[in-house]
Amino acid sequence: MPELAFSRRAALRGLGAAGLLAAFTGCGVPAAYVPENRRQGPDLSDRDQAIAFSNWPLYIDTDEEDEQSRPTLDAFTEKTGIEVRYTEEINDNDEFFGKVSPALMNHQATGHDLVVISDWMAARFVHLGWAQKMDRTAQANVARHLDPQLRSPAFDEGRLHTVPWQSGITGIAYNRKALGREIKSVKDLWEPDLAGKVTLFSGLDESFALLMQGDGVDVTRWTEADFHRMCDRVENMVKKKHIRRFTGNDYTSDLSKGDVLACQAYSGDVIQLRADNPDIEFVVPEEGAELWAESLLIPNLARHKANAEALIDYYYDPAVAARLAAAVNYVCPVPAAREVLAASSDKETAELAANPLIFPDGEMRKRLVVARDISSAERQSFAKRWNAIVGL
């Protein structure tokens, strides 16, 4: 399982890329926008059997005896002859954006054929025209097996430019034994017995949807007024010292040690926390929770586009998706992988098929939604207010 010291969702950030993105924008139109017909360069896939694939650390299956060996990638190379140059160089969405944006702004290749970034950052790439449209005729597995709830986010309708690598849920984790009661609602976080024992995520993109849902907001179509109402509530709770602090992924340490009793949390992390402490529970609140994804995309002028599309489709084979899900324990974007895991002769592996935090059941899915992203026009002012509350 991935170590809890790192999470792909919880890196701290300031205005960083938001300010940079704002600088690209004039009259509502990104100055660096690249039209569809200028995104694809010469594709060397036929004569150069290679892919440059960049991902986050600890986000793929590894061999128990050799952590440098990645069985699913090795099997892909054996099957296709395509060598994968795999790097774990994405440690923060904004940092990666800053690294590749100069080349993309100037219509130059980045050296990356395939990358994994959070969907709120993928939205920036799509809106700027920095992600290539994929050839779905070459991706039968994606067309057949992609989770219906993830098929058409607002920023990329029809998933033409992105494909989920893994998904997850932002909900609430709490220590049921220490608290002495259940948490069922976001509103339960504000009860007096949790004063000074609650943490929220510091990142705006990680925090806002769940908190708005607690106010009864439909986060698929939230408004500026909804955002400021949510901020007013959080600001009031900060002044009352009800919120202990705002965190990155270090919330896992606070919860494990008992310094906090309830917090915003990611489903994948809690699966791992429960292995050490079964008193820790994860809740999809009655008001709902955010279903998010981190997605694969092919940057402009990638030199091995067809090879990258083949690798993406390979990971949507249910058998391959099952191996990946068993390793990383996030929500699998390939529901058909559940049957593969259920049929495993290994009891621990087979039990993963029944875990609703990897394969949400029908009742849970009714409360999961994909939030609309923060637009470039909104981001700078919203981030400024949120960061002032958080103290960034």
Mean pLDDT across the chain, nearest whole number? 92
DSSP state of 29: E
pLDDT tens digits, one per residue of 102-147: 999 999 999 999 999 999 999 999 999 999 999 999 999 999 999 9
- Domain extents in the chain: 16-167+293-358, 168-291+376-390
How far apart, in whole angstroms, are the C-alpha atoms of residue 314 and residue 165? 12
8-state DSSP, 7: -
Domains 16-167+293-358 and 168-291+376-390 share a fold: yes
pLDDT of residue 178: 96
What residues are paired with 87 via a beta bridge?
54
Superfamily of domain 168-291+376-390: Periplasmic binding protein-like II (3.40.190.10)
pTM for the full model? 0.91
Q: What pLDDT, in 10s, does the model give residues 212-227? A: 999 999 999 999 999 9
What residues of the chain score a pLDDT lower than 70?
A: 1-31, 392
Backbone angles phi, psi at 198, to 5 degrees: -120, 140
Alpha-helical regions (H) of the chain? 16-24, 71-80, 93-105, 119-128, 140-145, 176-179, 204-214, 224-239, 251-257, 267-276, 305-314, 318-328, 337-342, 347-352, 362-365, 376-390
Q: What is the pLDDT of residue 248?
A: 86
Which CATH class for the 16-167+293-358 domain? alpha beta
- Cα–Cα dist 90/310, whole Å: 22
